[in-house]
Amino acid sequence: MELEVAKAAIEAAVPGCRLEMVVNPSPSAQHSLLMDAEHAVAVATWLRDAEGMRFDYCSNVTGIDWPAKELTEKVKVKKLVDGPNGPEEKEVDEVRKTLVPGFLEVVYHLFSVERRDGPVVLRMRTVDREARVHLPSLTGVWRSADFQEREIFDLYGVVFDGHPDLRRLLMWDEFKDHPMRRDYVEPDDYEYEPTAHDEVLERARQHVIAAGGRTA
Amino acid sequence: MSAASVAGEVMEELDAAVRPADDFGEQLLEVSMGPQHPSTHGVFRMNVALDGERVMKLKPVFGYLHRNHEKIAEQETYLGSMPYTDRLDYFCSITNNWAYALAVEKLAGITVPERAEYLRVITGELTRLQNHACLIGFLLQDMGASGTPLMYAFREREKILDLFEALTGARMMCNYMRFGGCRVDLPAGWLEQARGVVAGFPKFLDEFEQLLQSNEILMERTQGVGVLSKELAINAAVSGPMARASGVNYDLRKVDRYGIYDRFAFRVPLGAHGDVYDRYMIRVLEMRESVKILEQAMKEIPGGPIVDPKTKIRGFRPKPGEAYGRIEAPKGELGFYLVSDGSANPYRYRVRPPSLINLTVLEDMCLGRNVADVVIILGSVDIVLGEVDR
């Protein structure tokens, strides 16, 4: 399916949705559609059910982390510079820095079992990487997103609103950080999952102290 | 007030304090199955809530084998991750290599020479044979058929692993594919040996079928157990033999026609009931189809180079972009999603693990069944924890 055609069809079917083509310059030419979070569930449901679309098979769901980055560009600026005959206007190179804010991205790869078509690639982006990391869950549309969205929540920290059971999938529940983020720093000392063993050791230590012994 | 009624009241109060009168029937027993349990095929855990023997709730717990494969691969060069993909589904290292090579080839626009495509099909289908044979062995082991079927399967697997060892130097961690081809060509006499193994395979299947197919215990234990509907299978993106057992006609070898699969005549077996028995049968039938593909491929294999000479191996830096490549691995749709930023290592490297996604519907299949059925339903999903937890 040509993505341009799909985009026009979605825009006609889901009023108010904002879609944007994301061109993929690699030889694979798998272009994608960037959806706004507000209409994502409506767009997904329509893509799944509409005649001629029937993208009933959401194969792959994954996250990507795009941290904030600084873009530097050289700009020629006219400036007054002190010359031998007093101030004069000259073209001077100036380095201008712009900060592109970071965000988290979620990518869905859709296929159609019925029409043997695909992939159609959908993307959604969070506003930033810290506070506004909420996106709508598409688990209600495709069950296959269930564990995969949990994995993204676990490893990237995207919070999926409307997910039936949003818990960490691979890391343990007490774990704090999101290891797949680009700026994740491995701890020097891993905080292991507390076990009954730790408690016993601590009680034994207290016992030794109470008895007037020395502990390491 | 008579003494008898006072005594009755006291007894009632006592009863209420000890045990709420009608609460007994509603108490569920929580059982943690795994992670160290032979039927979980690795370190997989299910928290099961039981009403007597019946499963009322089942929540899988993952992560015991998690080592963040994806993060490690993002810090490694593209080729550097190739041997590491062997460790995902350690039963089928060659198909893991293939899926990764296919994704990179899509990302960088690399072509694969004819002979290499044939080598990929031959080794890939041999992988499928040994995986399905072993899975059936494990499934029957879970059912209590101790040893015999599994050892029959392992005997066949051994022959195939010998072939892999002769070709790649390793029995399980083959590290065989390269971007744009394969690592080594066939050694002398390999093809004859492989022909012998493949020719002997249908005999093993006949023997297996004679032993099991109409076995009353097997039929009792598997028919109508763990039924998965076609609609749910599609909606939950269940793939591979499990989806086809539910009647979903979706075999990527036919749908995507990646590599040279459009050249071979083979059929896609489909199940009608979506129960454990169908999942077992689909694998038996798929092995027969794989034998057909192997016979054709080994007859037609041409000479020529095994790797595209234009492929740059050192300093491999694909242009910025992304690609999703997928193949029909023995366990289902194995996909790799790669994002390149133009540097020597992938910006994003994602494995789409068929085992994990097939487990999405585990609870739906197990509800209302007995604990003993949970074991064989899990066995029929065909999981490998190296891939589930990554």
> Considering only CA atoms, which of B111, B86, B90, B110 is closest in space to residue B99?
B86
List the single residue in B with minimal CA-CA distance to A169. Answer: B62
Pairing of strands B321-329, A103-112: unpaired
Best B179, B316, B322 member to test A by mutation, with max A CBs in 10 Å, is B322
Beta-carbon contacts of B120 under 8 Å, excluding residues fewer than 6 positions away, are B98, B112, B177, B182, B259
User: Which positions in chain A touch B112 (Cβ < 8 Å)?
Assistant: none
ipTM exceeding cut-off 0.85 for this assembly: no
| Other beta carbons less than 10 A from residue B265's beta carbon | 8
pLDDT, one tens digit per residue, over B314-335 is 788 888 999 999 999 999 999 9
Note the pLDDT tens digit of each residue in A10-37.
Answer: 888 888 888 888 888 888 888 888 988 8
> CB under 8 Å to B33, separation ≥6 — which residues?
B39, B40, B45, B46, B47, B48, B371, B374
Which run of H or of E encompasses B234? helix B230-235
Of B216, B214, B242, B249, which Cα lies nearest the Cα of B228?
B242
Using an 8 Å CB-CB cutoff, list chain A residues near B362: none
Contact list in B for residue A144 (CB cut-off 8 A) is 235-238, 357, 360
| Chain-chain contact of A60 with B70 (C-beta, under 8 angstroms) | no
Q: What is the pLDDT of residue B122?
A: 93
> Could you tell me the sign of the dihedral formed by the alpha carbons of B311, B316, B319, B324, in that order?
positive
Banded model confidence at residue A171, pLDDT cuts 50, 70, 90: confident
Which residues does chain B have within 8 Å of residue A155's beta carbon, measured at their own beta carbons? 68
pLDDT given at position B9: 61
**CB proximity A113 to B under 8 Å:** yes
Question: Residue B6: pLDDT above 60?
Answer: no
Q: Check whether B7 has a pLDDT greater than 60.
A: no
What pLDDT shows up at residue B1? 45
Residue % of chain A over a pLDDT of 90: 24
How much is the pLDDT for A30? Answer: 86
Q: Are B240 and B358 a contacting pair, CB within 8 Å?
A: yes
Percent of chain B surpassing pLDDT 70? 93
When CB atoms are compared, the residue of A27, A142, A184 closest to B235 is: A142
User: Which of B85, B46, B107 has its CA nearest to residue B172?
Assistant: B85
Give the pairing type, strands A159-161 and A134-136: parallel
Q: How far apart are the CA of A29 and the nearest CA of chain B, in angstroms?
A: 8
Is A192 in the B-facing interface, judged by CB distances under 8 Å? Answer: no
Chain segment B50-62, per-residue pLDDT in tens: 888 888 888 999 8
Average confidence (pLDDT) over A49-69: 89
Residue A137 pLDDT > 80? yes
- CA of A212, closest CA in chain B: separation in Å? 41
Residue B248's contacts (CB-CB under 8 Å, 6 or more residues apart) are: A113, B230, B233, B234, B238, B270
Rounded CA-CA distance A203/A197 in Å is: 10
Segment A180-196 shows an average pLDDT of 75
Q: Report the DSSP beta bridge partners of residue B353.
A: none
Instruction: Give the mean model confidence (pLDDT) for residues A191-198.
Output: 68
Above pLDDT 70, what percent of chain A? 95
Mean pLDDT over B34-41 rounds to: 74
**Phi, psi (5° rounding) for residue B168?**
-110, -15
What is the residue whose two structure tokens read 């296959």?
Answer: A144
In A, minimum Cα distance to B388 occurs at A170
Query: B210-245: per-residue pLDDT in tens?
Result: 887 778 888 888 888 889 999 999 999 999 999 999
pLDDT score of A119 = 87
Give the model confidence (pLDDT) of B265-324 as tens digits. Answer: 999 999 888 899 999 889 999 999 999 999 999 988 888 888 887 777 778 888 899 999
Which range of A166-175, B136-145, B243-252 scores highest in mean pLDDT? It is B243-252
Q: Identify the three-state secondary structure at position B237.
A: coil
Contact B322 A28 (CB under 8 A): yes
**Which residue in the set B62, B237, B322 is minimally distant from A170, CB to CB?**
B62
Would you state the pLDDT for residue B234?
92
Q: What tens digit of pLDDT does each residue of A85-133 get?
A: 777 777 777 788 888 888 899 999 999 998 888 788 999 999 888 888 9
The β-bridge partners of A96 are: A73
Which pLDDT does position B25 carry in this prediction?
56
CA B282 to chain centroid, in Å, comes to: 13
What's residue A185's pLDDT?
84
Tokens 């790669």 identify what position? B338
Q: A47 contacts in B (CB within 8 Å)?
A: none
What is the rounded CA–CA span in Å between residue B33 and residue B116? 44
pLDDT recorded at residue A156:
92
